[in-house]
Every structure is written in structure tokens, then in C-alpha cells.
Amino acid sequence: MTMTSANPPAPSGLGWLAFAALTVGCWGLYGVFLHSGQAAMSDPVNGRYKAFLWVGLAYFLTAVLAPLALLLARGASWDYPLKGIGWSLVAGILGAAGALGVLLAFGAKGTPAVVMSIVFAGAPVVNAIYSLAQHPPEGGWSKLPLPFVLGIVLAAAGGCLVTLYKPTPARAGPAIGSAHSGNTPAGPGLATGSPGESSALRKP
């Protein structure tokens, strides 16, 4: 009697790389659009929570309705083991809590470039440490490859460098009204209503 693996064999090729690139693009723009949504709410006090509400609606559309349609189309069974449900709920809570943390960081005057750089530099470190704790390497932690350890250190250092040496935003330009006050292409006399203006108008 042969035993089969619970997981199907991974397909060959680089199709997975395309999906990974899709995730990189979506998550790379996530913080920028989230910050724009918060600012567009025009509510300095509760704007972040209003934006988070609509983020939740987007999660419902993409993470509830979309997989539900796929399951119905594929004729999948409705057998859900409790262990699978529990871990999936924990993953969803972590994802939502992370999105809320990003919004709170924006509300505390963090910029998307700095906040998301810290997130994407720190998340792989946390993932690596947790994965190693769950599945220790063969021979113990002392057998970890040096490039792997160096990659974790560089990721953490990158987040620190981005935080410490973030670029200074450009200064806002002068207001349009102030840029044209008291001086127009027709000359200062016409702009200020000086006697030169009235005398010029009286000439035949």
C-alpha cells in the first residue's frame, strides 16, 4: 500500500514567480494608496478609521466574495476542519491588525515611504525567525548558512537606515494669489491702481 502526500506536487516552471511579482506590486502600492485614502477623508481625527472601514469592505469583496465564487464554480466540498478554520482566522486577524497599524503609523506623522520600508524590511525577518522556530534547521541553529544570517542582518539594517536617513520633503511653492499680487504683466501701475493707470485710460 502506497501512501500519498497530503499536498499535491508543486508545478514545475516559474508561474509562481509571476504571482509573487503580483503581490510585490500590490503590496508596494498598498501603503501609498492607503495614505491617500486617509488624507482624502478630510478628517484629521477619524480619517484613518474611515479609511480602514473601506479597506475592510475591499477585503470582503476580494477575500470573501471572490473565493466563494471560485469554490462554487469548482464544486468544492463544504468540509472545513476546525484547525484549518482557526489558523485561517488568526492569519486574517494578523493581516487586518497590520493594516490598522500602518494607518496608525500614518496618523502619527509617518510617511508612506518610511513606514512601508520598515514594514517590508522587518516582515521577512519576523517570518524567518518564526519559521526557524517552527522548523529548526538540521544540525541546529549553528548550522545556518552565513548568507542566510547576513540577509536577515541586512534587511534589519535597511529598515534602520531608511528610518534614520529619510529624505526631507520638498517645500511647498508659493500660493497662486500671492505670486501675482502687486505685479502683473501689464506693469505695476495697472496692478495697484496708481495715478498712472487713470491717466493712461484718459488718453484718447
pLDDT of residue 186: 45
pTM higher than 0.85: no
Query: 93 with 40, same domain?
Result: yes
How many residues are listed for the chain in this entry?
204
3-state secondary structure of 125: helix
Residue 13 within a domain? no
Question: Hey, what amino acid is at 97?
Answer: A
The domain of 61 spans: 24-75+85-110
Q: How many CB atoms lie within 10 A of CB 116?
A: 23
Quote the distance between the C-alpha of residue 2 and its chain's center. Answer: 46
Query: 91 with 149, same domain?
Result: no
Question: What's the average model confidence in pLDDT over 148-165?
Answer: 84
Question: Hey, what amino acid is at 124?
Answer: P
Query: 134 with 68, same domain?
Result: no
Query: 93 with 116, same domain?
Result: no
Query: 100 with 37, same domain?
Result: yes
Summarised one tens digit per residue, pLDDT across range 23-79 is 889 988 999 999 999 999 999 889 999 999 999 999 999 999 999 999 999 999 999
Between CA 17 and CA 25 the distance in angstroms is 12
Between CA 28 and CA 119 the distance in angstroms is 11
pLDDT > 70: percent of the chain? 78
Query: 28 with 46, same domain?
Result: yes
pLDDT of residue 117: 84
Summarised one tens digit per residue, pLDDT across range 71-129 is 999 999 999 999 999 999 999 999 999 999 999 999 898 888 888 888 888 888 899 88
| Residue for grid cell 496692478 | 191
Minimal CA–CA distance to 162: which of 121, 102, 109, 107?
121
Residue 14 within a domain? no
Number of domains present in the structure of the chain = 2
CB 88 within 8 A of CB 140: no
Between CA 113 and CA 196 the distance in angstroms is 54
Query: 90 with 159, same domain?
Result: no
pLDDT of residue 120: 86
End-to-end CA distance of the chain: 113
Query: 41 with 93, same domain?
Result: yes
pLDDT of residue 42: 94
Residue 7 — very low, low, confident or very high, per pLDDT cuts 50/70/90?
A: low
